[in-house]
């Protein structure tokens, strides 16, 4: 079982995927731009309502962009932290539509995921 996190837009979602990366259960975050407040609780809820203990997760797939700068940071930081905490692998997903099992077979995962932005974030430049 895998956890998929996509916080790259206002319509953020999390999903549980089976071994073939088919969606078993999916949950959308209710408030746009509130990923940092809702994401961990939503993941916990998704696991509970599907009776999936955390130790059953084999890995985390996370959408790495392009998308909302803050949303990507929240989702990717969460995926990387959960990967470390649960001692499971994390894989970047570039296309939120096509989750492909080849991704898991061709990429060992495990390294922290970095976001992909369409342009430089310019977070240190004054407005």
**pLDDT single digits (tens) 3-35:** 999 998 878 899 999 988 899 999 988 776 677
Quote the CATH superfamily of domain 2-106: ATPase, nucleotide binding domain (3.30.420.40)
Eight-state DSSP code of residue 54: G
pLDDT means over runs of 10, the chain (127 residues)? 90 91 90 78 96 94 86 92 94 70 65 74 63
Eight-state DSSP code of residue 25: E
> pTM of this prediction?
0.84
Domain residues of the chain, as ranges? 2-106
Cβ count near 77 (within 10 Å): 17
Distance CA 17, CA 127 (A): 42
6 three-class SS: strand
Distance CA 71, CA 47 (A): 21
């Amino acid at each position: 079982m895998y956890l998929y996190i996509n916080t790259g837009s206002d319509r953020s979602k999390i999903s549980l995927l089976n071994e073939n990366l088919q969606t078993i259960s999916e949950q959308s975050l209710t408030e746009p731009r509130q990923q940092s407040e809702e994401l961990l609780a939503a993941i916990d809820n998704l696991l509970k309502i599907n009776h999936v203990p955390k130790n059953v997760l084999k890995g985390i797939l996370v959408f790495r962009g392009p998308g909302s700068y803050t949303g990507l940071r929240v989702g990717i930081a969460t995926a990387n932290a959960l990967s470390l905490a649960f001692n499971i692998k994390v894989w970047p997903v570039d296309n939120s539509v096509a989750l492909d099992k080849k991704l898991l077979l061709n990429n060992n995962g495990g390294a922290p995921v970095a976001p992909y932005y369409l342009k430089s974030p310019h977070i240190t430049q004054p407005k």
